[in-house]
Structure 1
Amino acid sequence: MNRADAAAAILREPLTIREVMGIFKPRIAVSIMLSAIGGLAISPGALPEMWRMAAVAIAVLLAAGAAGAFNQWAEADLDARMARTSTRPFASGRLDAGWAWLGGIAALLAVAVIMAGIAGNAQSAFYTFMGAFTYGIVYTMWLKRRTCLNIVIGGLAGSFAVLAGAASVDPVISIEAILLAVVLFLWTPPHFWSLAIAARDDYAANLVPMLPLVVGDRICAQVILAHTVALSLIALAPAALGMGMIYLAFAVVSGILFTAASIGLARAPTRRNAIRNFFASLAQLLLLLTGVVLDRWLLGPLA
């Protein structure tokens, strides 16, 4: 079957629920939501009621989903030309990327921001909006096709999620939450650059200036390692400010795992090692945020 026949076959297939849900990039949205929960848990002071915390987390999830859907809506042309994304509903033409979808995405974001404002406060609503705006507009529309710094600045989306959660505890953001936001800011580039090394042919063919294409895989891998070491060290700082041994243990283990994978990538910047580092970054984030939540749950708030 040639490429045209394969494309025609895809167009004839009905959309599944999984594919429709995939429009909202649920894996990214969940990681953003977990970042908000981490920001909430790491902040000193009494936690809000359970329903408020749940509502803020869901609001961040919905906002991240709206941003992910906008990304696919706006990049349907680019996704269609890349092997990794060509079967997405908008890219394949199985779903019309019309203006109705844009209206629905905007409505979803509005609901998310209002929910964050009601359950949290104005600051939570602002940070929830800024996270979606950064990913949807700043990264997708302004930077992705123009500069290799695209994902560096786009990394602020995760940082805003941390701040949205933290602001629901106290509108004045604590130093601990700021440190976690910095960790998320430094985490995002090596996470996506690892994927960019693995998918460099797709990005090269479509002139998307991801860092590996601009400076080469080897230098990019060295930059990834520098980011990984920096964020792993900064992630230890909250332990000196009052976080307990549970958090410290998770921060140390997660940092070692991600750093070890990044060292392997720096030594041999192959596609296999890039994918390994990509998954190591996910493990590092999950372990770190789990450590934050368990520390707060089992050991109580910071002094």
Structure 2
Amino acid sequence: MLRPGRAESGGAWVRIAPESRQSTRPFDLDTLRNIYHTTKMRLGFLIAACALAGVAVSPASDLAAWQVAVLGVATLLSSASAGAFNQLWEADIDRIMRRTSTRAFVTGRFAVTPVWYAGILLVLVLSVVAAALATNATAAFYIFLGAFTYGVVYTVWLKRRTWLNIVIGGLAGSFAVMAGAAAVGAELAPAPLILAVVLFLWTPPHFWALAYACRRDYQAAGVPMLPVVFQERVSTLTILAHTIVLVLLSVVPFWLGMGWIYLLSAVVGGVVFLRACIMLVYKPTIPQAWRVFAASIVQLGLLLT
């Protein structure tokens, strides 16, 4: 199977050759596990939670429970389609990076075939249609934008070209929040707009911490992430600066009526995240970068609960 690649061929076509370990049983546990990881379902659940948070912070939500459920599932599946496309498209660089070298398209557990492209497109279309029928066209459009941003804008256009890739790619989570707000007709309300900006600001330091911990992999694969392009000091200070702005903005919804519990969650999560980032500046090690990565997840989890 041939498709465009960059990491090893200087822009030439790269042959993705499946190995011999493909499962012959389509629905065994191993296959389901591979599908789960290939579609990046953990990321999908996070994106779906962002959509539900967009509903929760919006004023005067009159959606029925089934509508909220359909919106959540549609967001989850659209994210899954984008995640699968990401792994399908990046099989050439995934085989170079130690962290991703066991992914199904790299090892040959899944073959790179047109069936996958068709299935990914079908899942995305069904997700968007379901969201439109259950809520409205605006919410469905935001769901599409989220998947398109991650699958095409980030994966195809930006990731191998600029260190700003994840800055723009961070819009995927923001669009999920806007989908939730649009579902109740409140996409212009202050609270969901601020939450969308918070998600936009959260994504870069989260992934930059990961890239810092795995920067040798990204360098070998030719992916210009921030820690690969810039020196250590610049990278860690950029992560810290981004996080400071994020934490300051994350407390603003309290003054928009989100309540004391939200404020406590925002402050605690912000302190955890900031402390880890400050430590990274003074102790720029791989273990500390992983602590920043973990702290970012704690902070977002507290914000969304």
The corresponding residue for 1:289 is: 304
- The answer to whether the 8 Å contact 2:167/2:204 transfers is yes
Equivalents in 2 of 1:230, 1:169: separation in Å? 29
Structure (1 or 2) with the greater helix fraction = 1
Secondary structure in 2 aligned to 1:81? coil
Instruction: Report the AA paired with residue 76 of structure 1.
Output: A
Superposed, 1:99-248 pairs within 5 Å as 99-248=114-263
- Structure 1 pair 148–127 and aligned structure 2 pair: CA distance change class (3 A): same
The corresponding residue for 1:71 is: 86
Structure of greater relative contact order (alpha carbons < 8 Å, 6+ residues apart): 1
Equivalents in 1 of 2:168, 2:184: separation in Å? 26
Q: CA deviation at 1:269?
A: 1.4
1:263 paired residue among 278, 283, 302: 278
Equivalents in 1 of 2:61, 2:218: separation in Å? 46
The corresponding residue for 2:106 is: 91
Q: CA deviation at 1:186?
A: 0.4
Equivalents in 1 of 2:257, 2:302: separation in Å? 19
Matched, 1:40 2:55: yes
The corresponding residue for 1:52 is: 67
Equivalents in 2 of 1:174, 1:95: separation in Å? 44
1:22 paired residue among 21, 32, 37: 37
- The answer to whether the 8 Å contact 1:123/1:171 transfers is no
Equivalents in 2 of 1:217, 1:91: separation in Å? 31
Q: CA deviation at 1:20?
A: 2.1
Instruction: Report the AA paired with residue 181 of structure 1.
Output: A
Q: Which moved more, 1:213-222 or 1:33-42?
A: 213-222
Q: CA deviation at 1:92?
A: 1.4
Report how many residues are paired.
281
Equivalents in 2 of 1:71, 1:190: separation in Å? 20
Equivalents in 2 of 1:281, 1:244: separation in Å? 22
Equivalents in 2 of 1:161, 1:90: separation in Å? 27
TM-score by length of 1: 0.90
Instruction: Report the AA paired with residue 281 of structure 2.
Output: A
The corresponding residue for 1:301 is: none
The corresponding residue for 1:273 is: 288
Equivalents in 2 of 1:20, 1:288: separation in Å? 29
Q: CA deviation at 1:13?
A: 7.3
Secondary structure in 1 aligned to 2:222? coil
Instruction: Report the AA paired with residue 138 of structure 2.
Output: Q
- The answer to whether the 8 Å contact 2:219/2:228 transfers is yes
Instruction: Report the AA paired with residue 163 of structure 2.
Output: C
The corresponding residue for 1:299 is: none
Instruction: Report the AA paired with residue 212 of structure 1.
Output: P
Instruction: Report the AA paired with residue 19 of structure 1.
Output: N
Question: What's the CA shift string for 1:93-135, capped at 9, x where partnerless?
Answer: 2211111100000000001101111111111000000000000
2:96 paired residue among 62, 81, 94: 81
- Structure 1 pair 89–116 and aligned structure 2 pair: CA distance change class (3 A): same
- In structure 2, list runs of 5 or more residues that go unmatched: 1-18, 24-29
Q: CA deviation at 1:268?
A: 1.3
The corresponding residue for 1:4 is: none
Equivalents in 2 of 1:93, 1:126: separation in Å? 34
- The answer to whether the 8 Å contact 1:176/1:241 transfers is yes
- Structure 1 pair 171–237 and aligned structure 2 pair: CA distance change class (3 A): closer
Aligned alpha-carbon RMSD (Å) = 1.2
Q: CA deviation at 1:243?
A: 1.2
Q: CA deviation at 1:16?
A: 3.9
Secondary structure in 2 aligned to 1:84? helix
Question: What's the CA shift string for 1:120-177, capped at 9, x where partnerless?
Answer: 1111000000000000000000000000000000000000000001111115421110
Q: CA deviation at 1:81?
A: 1.3
TM-score by length of 2: 0.90
Q: CA deviation at 1:47?
A: 3.4
